[in-house]
Amino acid sequence: MQFIPTNIRGPLFMVVSTGFYLVNDTMMKLATEGLPSYEVLFLRGVAASLWGMPLLLLLGYGKQVPLLLDKRVLRRNLLELAAILCYVVALANMQIADATALGQITPLLMLVGSSILFGERIGGARMALIGLGFIGALMVAQPTMQGISVYALLALGNAALSAARDLAGRKVGADVPGMIVAMSAVLVVLVGAGAAHLVSEPWVIPEARHLALIAGAGFFLIFGHFFIFMAYRVGPTSAVAPFYYSFTVWAVISGLLVFGQFPNAIAVCGILLVVASGLAIVSLDERRRRLTVVA
């Protein structure tokens, strides 16, 4: 990764992460056609474990497997579990546009949290660009007022818990590899989803297509976890968090390619606004870096 310029590593990793997560979400959505939500989450965890553990060993992290239970790692991933359990219930009971739109407050919460906890300076120009990205994300999601309910509160809970997860991830030591954190997240969610399934859902025997989709979702999930953790490890929150909005761009691409849903003019303008604000933030950071070097 050394060949990637330092100032774009964090934003690039976030864009890649949201892309992997979106492929995972698309496969999950297809798999839930005929299977209970928590059962799909549990089976995805099994699949991700079968993909991830051999990969962990191939990368030479066998001696660091005990770090899966490191208290800082577990703290982060218990927040991941709480966030995903909220999101699954919200998504099952409200329009996807509403759930997506409410999730867009995650970067704003991350910035406020990092400013309070870590003393990061945000700056007026960056806040303005982040606000434009937020507006663009809403233009893509185009929520309705029908989503105001207890499920909307769960979607907001998902956003808050996701921000808390990433802030907790900032406190994971540099001695813990990103792939260890990703695998720990997979295992924690697997156990939590299994428990939720046992107490709330009947078991439904999956078909071959379900298993294929879940296997694919598990594969992409691992790299989504890995890259979102690494994004905040290698870059400042103020530069990385706004690129969470790229999730909405990937969502439009998925809707177009998989579900045949064409974005309208407002959504296209929203995508352009998200992309433009992200590029402007990278340009702003590069300019500040050059001024610092010159000084």
CA distance 82 to 85: 5
Cα 173 to chain centroid, rounded: 21
Per-residue burial over 18-52, b if 16 or more Cβ lie within 10 Å, else e, is bbbbbbbbbbbbbbbeebbbbbbbbbbbbbbbebb
What digits encode the pLDDT tens for the residues 55-114? 999 989 999 999 999 999 999 999 999 999 888 777 767 666 667 667 777 877 887 788
Q: What is the pTM of this model?
A: 0.80
Q: What percent of the chain has pLDDT over 70?
A: 88
Give the mean model confidence (pLDDT) for residues 241-253: 81
Cβ-proximal residues to 119 (8 Å cutoff; 6+ apart), any chain: none
CA angle 30, 33, 35 (to 5 degrees): 115
Sole residue written with tokens 């610092």: 292
